[in-house]
Amino acid sequence: MGRAPTVAIAHDYLTQRGGAERVVLSLMRAFPGAPVHTTLYDPEGTYPEFADADVRTSPINRLGALRHDHRLALPLLAPASSRMHIDADVVVASSSGWAHGFSTSGRTVVYCHNPARWLYQTDEYLGGPAWRSPLGPPVLALRPLLRRWDRRAADRVDTYLANSRVVQQRIAATYGRQAELLPPPHGMDASAEQETVPELAGWEPGYALVVSRLLPYKNVDAVIEAVRGTGRRLVVVGHGPEEARLRATLPDHVQLLGGLSDAQLRWVYSRAGVLVAASHEDFGLAPLEAAAFGVPAAALRGGGFLETVIEGSTGLFFDRPTPDDIAATLALSDRHDWDADTMRRRAEEFGEARFIDRIRAIALGETDG
pLDDT tens profile 171-197:
999 999 999 999 999 878 899 999 999
User: Which helix (H) or strand (E) segment is 317 a member of?
Assistant: strand 315-318
Helical segments of 2-114, H only: 19-30, 64-68, 74-82
Other CB atoms within 10 A of residue 1 CB: 3
1 pLDDT higher than 70: no
More confident residue, 216 or 300: 300
More confident residue, 248 or 139: 248
Topology alike, domains 7-185+351-363 and 198-348: yes
The reported pLDDT for the residue numbered 82 is 95
Distance, CA of 290 to CA of 343 (rounded, Å): 8
Most confidently modeled range among 64-73, 112-121, 268-277: 268-277
Question: Percent of the chain at pLDDT above 70?
Answer: 98
131 pLDDT higher than 60: yes
CATH code, 7-185+351-363: 3.40.50
pTM as predicted: 0.78
Beta bridge partners of residue 299, listed in sequence order: 277, 317
DSSP state of 309: -
Distance, CA of 44 to CA of 144 (rounded, Å): 34
Distance, CA of 144 to CA of 125 (rounded, Å): 17
Least confident of 133-137, 186-190, 296-300, 352-356: 133-137
Band of pLDDT at residue 2, cut at 50, 70 and 90: low
**Looking at residues 139-147, what average pLDDT do you find?**
90
Residues 6+ apart with CB under 8 A from 31: 7, 9, 92, 360, 363
Distance, CA of 279 to CA of 302 (rounded, Å): 9
Q: pLDDT, tens digit, for every residue of 351-369?
A: 899 999 999 999 998 644 3
The reported pLDDT for the residue numbered 369 is 38
Q: pLDDT, tens digit, for every residue of 92-107?
A: 999 999 999 999 989 9
Residue pair 80/132 in contact (Cβ under 8 Å)? The answer is no
Q: Checking DSSP bridges between strand 85-86 and strand 103-104, what pairing results, if any?
A: parallel
Distance, CA of 113 to CA of 101 (rounded, Å): 14
72 pLDDT higher than 90: no
Mean per-residue pLDDT of the chain: 93
**Looking at residues 291-312, what average pLDDT do you find?**
95
Does domain 198-348 bear CATH number 3.40.50.2000?
yes
Residues 6+ apart with CB under 8 A from 277: 210, 212, 284, 286, 287, 297, 298, 299, 300, 305, 309
Question: Percent of the chain at pLDDT above 90?
Answer: 77
Domain range list for the chain: 7-185+351-363, 198-348
**Looking at residues 237-244, what average pLDDT do you find?**
92
Band of pLDDT at residue 122, cut at 50, 70 and 90: confident
3 pLDDT higher than 80: no
The reported pLDDT for the residue numbered 366 is 64
Band of pLDDT at residue 17, cut at 50, 70 and 90: confident
The reported pLDDT for the residue numbered 163 is 92
The reported pLDDT for the residue numbered 368 is 42
